[in-house]
């Protein structure tokens, strides 16, 4: 797995709102300064200037640039040359050719179109791609649809398919996967359910759009004391067992041990 220690809660911040930069950095694990959808066309030049003149810690900052085929993409890269930021999120990534001008950058490839999702495996295999992220709303728009979620708040099947495809592609290439944002800001309960599912499914990080969502995501990724203790005791028992064994009435084999190891990693333990 690539080293991408920026999580678990990534907070989007419009790049044309420099007065929010420091607050976003203080309230999240990493900031995504957004030059794309969060910035109106007429404000993009000002956003690039703000990116240069209001620096944040580059180790905890990602810059979302405009799609590779857009006019703004070249201007974004030109602005980045005057900063220390070297981790970028490529909006609407659709194939390895989109990455040809991005050597020297660590790239989070955002798969949010039909072509992008279908090219997720190709994108994940590129050497400078450190993670994949998926996006529901742009994806459904690219399909001609109108909503990524059903009336009950859950994702439609096509969105779930894209989510799974991107997660599998990232894992197969040894890269991290970032779960999409939860756009219903007041619904912290719904966010908690989705974040817990992201953890259980294997997403290493989750993006968000409001500071109130950060603690909910952090809590989802933080194992409970009971979960951490169980994982410790299970791994300790494994030191005295060979092959498959029983622990507290349950069968334990290799995958179960790896689940325990992941729990301890999320609790802040290494190895």
Q: What is the mean pLDDT of residues 17-26?
A: 97
Superfamily of 9-221 according to CATH: Phosphoenolpyruvate-binding domains (3.20.20.60)
Q: What is the mean pLDDT of residues 9-36?
A: 97
Least confident of 61-70, 110-119, 236-245: 236-245
Q: How many CB atoms lie within 10 A of CB 29?
A: 18
Question: Is 229 a residue whose pLDDT tops 90?
Answer: no
Burial 181-199 (b: 16+ CB within 10 A, else e): bbeeeeebebbbbbbeebb
Is there a binding annotation on residue 37?
no
Structural element, H or E, at residue 80: helix 71-80
Q: What is the mean pLDDT of residues 248-270?
A: 71
* Residues present in the chain in total: 271
Is there a binding annotation on residue 112?
yes
Is there a binding annotation on residue 98?
no
Q: Could you report how far apart the first and last alpha carbons of the chain are, in Å?
A: 13
Structural element, H or E, at residue 10: strand 9-14
Q: What is the mean pLDDT of residues 24-37?
A: 97
The pLDDT tens digits of the residues spanning 102-155 come to 999 999 999 999 999 999 999 999 999 999 999 999 999 999 999 999 999 899
Find out whether 164 and 177 touch, Cβ atoms under 8 Å. Answer: no
Find out whether 235 and 260 touch, Cβ atoms under 8 Å. Answer: yes
* Closest listed residue to residue 196, CA positions, set 226, 224, 225, 156: 224
SS3 101: coil
The whole-angstrom separation of Cα 156 and Cα 186 is 21
Average pLDDT, the chain: 91
Question: Is 225 a residue whose pLDDT tops 80?
Answer: no
User: Domain limits of the chain?
Assistant: 9-221, 225-267
* Closest listed residue to residue 181, CA positions, set 164, 205, 152: 205
The whole-angstrom separation of Cα 266 and Cα 8 is 9
Least confident of 84-93, 216-225, 235-244: 235-244
Q: Using 50, 70 and 90 to split pLDDT, how confident is the model at 270?
A: very low
pTM for the model stands at: 0.86
pLDDT on residue 271? 37
Q: What is the mean pLDDT of residues 11-18?
A: 98
Q: Using 50, 70 and 90 to split pLDDT, how confident is the model at 224?
A: low
Least confident of 113-122, 155-164, 181-190, 218-227: 218-227
Q: How many CA atoms lie within 13 A of 25 on its CB side?
A: 18
Q: Using 50, 70 and 90 to split pLDDT, how confident is the model at 230?
A: low
% of the chain exceeding 70 in pLDDT: 93
Kindly report each contact of residues 44-48 with a partner whose C-beta sits within 8 Å and lies 24 or more positions away, as own/partner: 44/16, 44/72, 44/75, 45/75, 46/16, 47/14, 47/15, 47/16, 48/15, 48/75, 48/76, 48/79
């Amino acid at each position: 797995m690539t080293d991408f220690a920026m999580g678990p809660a990534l907070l989007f911040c419009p790049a044309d709102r420099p007065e929010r930069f420091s607050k976003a950095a203080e309230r999240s694990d990493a900031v995504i300064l957004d030059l794309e959808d969060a910035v109106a066309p007429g404000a993009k030049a000002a956003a690039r200037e703000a990116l240069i003149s209001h620096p944040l810690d580059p180790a905890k900052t990602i810059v979302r640039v405009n799609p590779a085929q857009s006019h703004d993409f070249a201007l974004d890269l030109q602005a980045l040359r005057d900063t220390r930021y070297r981790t970028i999120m490529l909006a609407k990534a659709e194939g390895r050719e989109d990455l040809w001008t991005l050597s020297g950058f660590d790239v989070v490839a955002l798969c949010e179109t039909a072509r992008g999702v279908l090219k997720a495996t190709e994108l994940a295999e590129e050497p400078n791609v450190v993670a994949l992220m998926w996006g529901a709303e742009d994806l459904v728009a690219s399909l001609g649809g109108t909503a990524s979620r059903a009336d009950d708040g859950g994702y439609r099947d096509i969105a779930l398919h894209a989510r799974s495809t991107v997660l599998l592609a990232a894992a197969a290439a040894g890269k991290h996967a970032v779960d999409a944002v939860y756009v219903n800001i007041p619904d912290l309960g719904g966010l908690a359910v989705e974040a817990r599912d992201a953890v259980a499914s294997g997403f290493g990080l989750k993006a968000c759009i409001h500071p109130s969502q950060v603690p909910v995501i952090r809590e989802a990724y933080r194992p409970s004391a009971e979960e951490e203790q169980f994982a410790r005791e299970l791994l300790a028992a494994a030191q005295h067992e060979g092959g498959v064994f029983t622990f507290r009435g349950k069968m334990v084999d290799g995958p179960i041990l790896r689940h325990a190891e992941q729990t301890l990693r999320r609790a802040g333990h290494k190895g």
